[in-house]
Homo-oligomer: A and B are copies of this chain.
Amino acid sequence: MAPATPHTSPIDFERIFHPKRIAIVGVSQEGLGFGAGIFVSLRLIGFEGEIFLVNPKGGDLNGEPIHRSVEEIPRAIDFAIIAVAARAVPEVLEACRLKGAAGAEIFSSGFKELGTAEGIALEEEIVRVAARGIRVIGPNCFGIYCPRSGLTVLPGPDLSRETGPVAFSSQSGGMAVDFANAGKSVGLKFSKVVSFGNGCDLRETELLDYFRDDPETGLVAMYIEGIRDGDAFFESLRRTTARKPVIVNKGGLSAAGRRAVQSHTASMGGSREIWQSILRQANAVQVGDMGEMVQACLAFSLLPRRTYHNITVLGGGGALGVAAADLAESFGVQIPAFEPDLAGRIDELLPKPGSSPGNPVDVANPFVPPKTLKAIMRLAAGDPRIDLQIFTSLLHHYKNMAMLTGRPIKAVTPYLELADDIHEVAAETGKPIVVILSNPKSGPDHLDVVDMFVDARRAFIERGIPVFAELRDALRAIGHLNAYYERKS
């Protein structure tokens, strides 16, 4: 047999990401396997294209007929989703190619990641079929989520249909699904999310090349376990970061992690030092885990693209001033003290005693009305050094107000007014305002507080205001922004 070689023909990403007709091969009528699961997910998310189901047993699924073979599908297809047993994959893939599919995602596992001769041979077989003219995502992956077309990962029936700037390429399927979900929760909007698993054909470099030119993609996030071709990848990375930010989470940087990578996606790793140095040289933003990646994407996608070196911190909470100062220093951001005149004017607005008008501004009392906070933020933005403001909310304290007045917490907490005011000040001053929404009251007898926070976050997000759970998260994300735009310029 000829050795498996990577595909070199042009890639019809348009038909892969926005297919009009797809086949799902390997749907079972019993239970909810991958095939049936993705079919139901596609219907629930509202994929508008035609879907052809295939299983040798025939029959129907939720009233949709099941074809006995790919050959029986009456139309040409753009894209295939394959969820059959590993041994059957090459033949099914070839049939999909003959049906005109530009690409296929293969959920099936049982290939190179097993480390067995059979698994490796089967994966090489897939590569050979792919080289004849059908591009492959996978195997051992959860596929593509594309909000515009309604293609979704497995499982992804409840992901958003809103399109946005974030592209995510992930070697891990679980990470792709979790990232898409977590992103939706905090207001990230996606252009495309791709879980490519073993990545026997399309993987990090091909996707990065595509995202670089994709007008829908404003920034790229990547979860990498190992790369196929270091030179090609770093060349693509350098070219991409020259145009848009690329945020990289490299898993498996420890010795134990490298061994785990080997059994997860059969990729070769690389040492922590090498990766840090190379990513830095390429001006990629390196993050340590998914949480940090979500936060970095939030900052890169919602804040105007520049550096933010001098900030204000306004609000209250446990030792805010001290924590803010410690964190700012860690992440290379300044919280410059206001001039006495400005501090004096802010002081006039603050409740007494216990408040502090310097920068950070400690409002001391959690019930300071939004209009006062608005006036303070307006004044603070007048300091010409200030690039950005951070407001740390204390909304959980309104639970006490609710208890004391006997009214529902949503009725006594002025979060909608606050969201409007913050949006207005940011727009008017041209200096973005970031909100920290941290809820220490999240147990079973604080469900009303939990619900209120979800709605408050929604209110800020809808107004384009970035929300972080912790001041540390926000400052670290801003640090990443600064590092990227400094090196880029």
Contact = CB atoms under 8 A, between A and B. Distances in A.
Interface stretch (A66-74, A170-178, A368-376): A170-178
11 contacts: A32-B404, A140-B354, A172-B318, A172-B322, A175-B318, A254-B325, A260-B321, A263-B358, A289-B470, A443-B458, A444-B458
Interface of A: 32, 37, 40-41, 44, 86, 108-110, 140, 155, 157-158, 170-179, 181-182, 184-186, 223, 225, 251-257, 259-261, 263-264, 289-291, 316-326, 328-330, 335, 353-354, 356, 358, 360, 396-397, 399-400, 403-404, 440-447, 450-451, 454-455, 457-458, 470, 472
Contact of A174 (B256, B261, B318): B318
A231 B404 CA distance: 45
A291 to B, nearest CB: 7
B354 A318 contact: no
A442 B470 contact: no
A119 B106 CA distance: 71
A421 B2 CA distance: 52
A226 B172 CA distance: 46
Copy number in the complex reads 2
A323 B353 contact: no
A399 B184 CA distance: 15
Given A172-B319, A254-B326, A256-B325, 12 more contacts: A32-B404, A44-B403, A158-B400, A158-B441, A184-B443, A225-B319, A251-B323, A253-B326, A256-B329, A260-B321, A260-B322, A291-B470
Contacts of A170: 318
Among A37, A225, A264, max chain B CB count under 10 A is at: A264
A262 to B, nearest CB: 10
Contacts of A326: 251-254, 256-257, 260
Contact of A446 (B185, B223, B264): B185
Nearest to A328: B256
A108 to B, nearest CB: 7
A322 B261 contact: yes
Nearest to A367: B32
Contacts of A171: 319
Contact of A110 (B256, B291, B324, B353): B353
Contacts of A396: 181
Among A178, A399, A443, max chain B CB count under 10 A is at: A443
A415 to B, nearest CB: 13
Contacts of A441: 158, 181, 184-185
A260 B259 CA distance: 45
Nearest to A454: B444
A400 B156 CA distance: 8
B263 A356 contact: yes
A174 B438 CA distance: 13
